[in-house]
Every structure is written in structure tokens, then in C-alpha cells.
Structure 1
């Protein structure tokens, strides 16, 4: 086994998106614009309804995938292809926008905690104009494993302890793990060689990740060399995401909700959207 190390450490910045939803932008901000193939990571967490109640009204996407992971609260998804679905605590939606889709994500609550993540994953050039599709994953369908003493993992994508994750058939072969560590628990997380990835501590105390201490709200981006990442909790429990995927190493042309390979493709996406071709 070869241990990876952390090559960059960042904290999220306060911003808003949609119709004013307050959130922390961790990837997609000045300190970490992208982490190929990851384009954006947002954490939204508030028990103040005014911070999230207006939600994300209908908006377009083309050329990438959005991954919504809910920890608390409820959102309703709806799109222009006739799909609807509810996202509740512990659920995941992996949406491949492909050649184009219009969708909305609106709260199904008027009070209480709303907490979760949205991750954007780029698509390879060959798949950018594929047909849109969804993987809507109920919490009960996400495998839970205990790969070491004091360690519990929800395997959203990838493989851990011989168990395959709930999300499958994604071009970048992602790993997406939600790991809970009891005090002083330790574990070496296996990752595919060459995958780009990161750890994000989102609850509890700090954790030692690849030999560095990450506090709650810290993201540590990994080197691509190595096949394991060491984790160790301190005197208190902690919870973090470990996410990795195959980098594309392709040109990126990006304009708001459109991510393609050339400026000409972006102009085409805008024209198609305006012409109602999504």
C-alpha cells in the first residue's frame, strides 16, 4: 500500500445560489476553482427557513452530473422530462444532465434543519451529449459497512470492504463514502490509483487525514499517487466525506450551468437553451 498525502487544504466560503439559498462553497471558489473532474462542492446547512425556503427554481444544465446528498430535511425534484422525486434524509440523487435538462429543487418543509451537499462531476467529451438520466437512491438502498473497529461507512459509490456502492455506471468511476469515526478510531481508506479526490470533514471534531489535521469545514485535496488514505479520529467522534473519481484531463469551457470543452460548444448550449431544445 502507498499512502497518499494532502496537496491542498481549503475552507468553504459563504455564498448563495438558486433563489437565495445560503451555503458554503468549497469547490468552485477562488481558493479551489476545480479538482478535475469535480467542478463544485456546496454544503447547505441551516435551521433558519429564510436561508433555504426559496429553493432552486427551474434552471438548466448541460455537460456534467449533479449529485445531491441529503443529511436532514426534504427537497422535491421536478424536471421538464416529467420526472419528480422526493429527497429525504440519507437519500442521494445522481443526475446526469447530458445534452440538457431543466429542473428545480424546492424545499418540502417550512421549518427545521435543511442539511446536505451538492457535488458537480464533469462528463468526458464523449458523454457530454448523452441522454439525461437519474439514479434516485433511497437511504435503505445505500450499503452500510464497518471496515474497521469504530468505523462506519455508507457506500454511496465505489467499493469498500467488498461491498459495491448504490450508484453505478458512472463514466468517471467515482468513489463516494460517508465515514463516521468513533474517538481514536483509525482506518486506511483504499482508493483507485490515479483517481483525484478529497476529504471533507463536516461534523464532529477534527480528524487526522493523510497525516494532517482537518477541522470541521476543511477540505483536503489528495495527491493522485497512492492507493490508500489514512484516517484517525482524536478524542471525539468525527464524520467526513471521502470522494474520488477518474480525472478527465480535458479542456473545460464553463459558463454558469453549462460545462463543455470549447467556447463554441458553450455558445451552442446557450442557443439551444434559448430555442427550447432542452
Structure 2
């Protein structure tokens, strides 16, 4: 096994892009992050000093058998792993430990992420545990939900503070719905500048009621290899139970598909509500993943 580490996402995609493009839904996170960082650097937006930012390709001869990255700017800066053979995972773990870079958390495909965190736990005298089980869905046949009053529209910059507060509330409420302590899961909230760029790009949507008051936010990423990822999806507690999330995700999914994009999304397996509503409008399970901590 040969490992090639890259600080430059463009160089990483030059080597791994063809393989990632063969499974564009499965690679939505790593390919999307690489393209986003590359775009930001081209625009003169520097990566925050002191935060890890690398990508790695695992080669078996000339064949790319695994990819991973460490770009998460939150928590213990977890890695993200795509599917790869067990010996490729061990090679990656050993390389990081040998260069004195213990990674105390990872997200991504099972069983690779489990093996990686067990290696890190053994190498640091700690214990690996699953923090959250997630599931990746891809849209199949889109099924219209029951009608809901209101309509979908792009968010405006005047609504940025509201959208930012809903981003902050999203993960705490998701933890609570899944039976975890609110705030137990570290997560990335976009900076004000990044959120402004997302709103200006027209890919942050709000569902508004009859008075044009926002009651839900639903976000879609820019497409990578033709695939767009929906999330977060957030409805304030006082507005829940009315089918707003179903209506908003349906409407955003329809827009993406009309643009020739392939919609996908992640759910928390411990949250039966989100899994149920997305399956009801046509999303189909693709692969199970997990977030693990080493502590």
C-alpha cells in the first residue's frame, strides 16, 4: 500500500477524481468538500490557521483503493473515510500515528471508520465508541406529500441571522430527538461569511407561510459530479407536526432534479421521524455510516 497525502484539494482530485466520480453519491462529502475548499482558495479565502486540512489517497499498485480527508473544523477535527480494504485502513492509521498525529474521531463508511478508530484507540491507550449512526439516502421516484400551506423560496441576506440561529439549533434538536444530550454531537456551523455565500448562491431555501414568514430552512449543496446533498433541514419546535419538512425537502428535491442534479441526504438512524418522512417522499437507503469518537 502506498499513501499519498495532499494539502492541495486540486492535486487530490487530479489523482482520485475519476474513482470518486464512479460513485458520485457515495463520494458526495469528500468530493464536495475538496471542490469547496479549492473554490475558496481560488477566491483568496485562506484555510483557518492551525486547523488540519489534508486529503489522502491509498494506492495498491496503480489502483486507488481508498480515500480520506481531515478537514472538519470542529470538535477533535475528525477524519472522514471512504470505503477501503482493512489493510488500507491499517496503513493509514499507522502513517498518522508514526507522524504523531493521533486522530480522535472519524466519520464515514463502515467498517472502515470503525477499524480506523479502533486502531487509533489502541495506539493512544483510549477507547473507541460509536457516537452516531448515520444513513445515506439517494432519491428514487419522487412522491408528493400531502399539501401544506405556504411555499418554498430562496432565503435572502436579510434573513441571514434567522438562518444562522436555525443552523445552531439544528444539531442540538437532532440530538434531543435521537435521545442524546442536546449538544452532545460536535458539528460545523458556517461562518457568517460562508453562510452569506451560501445564501447568495441561491441554495438556502425557506418555506414560508401565507404571510411570507419563514417556518423551515432547507439547504442544498452545490453539485459535485452531478450530485447535490440536502441538509440541514430544520423546523422550529413550535412549527412541527404540520408536514413542513416533507413539503420543503420535496420541493427542493424537485428543483434539483429539474436542474439535472441527483439529490441525496443523510439521516441520523436514531431519529425515526426523519428516516420515515424522507423515505415517504422517495428517498431510498444507500449505505450505513457512523461517527465515532476515541476518548
TM-score, normalised on structure 1? Answer: 0.29
Could you say which structure has the higher strand fraction?
1
In the superposition, the TM-score normalised over structure 2's length comes to 0.27
Q: Which has the higher contact order (CA 8 A, sep 6+)?
A: 2
Of Structure 1 and Structure 2, the greater helix share is in 2
Of structures 1 and 2, the larger Rg is shown by 2
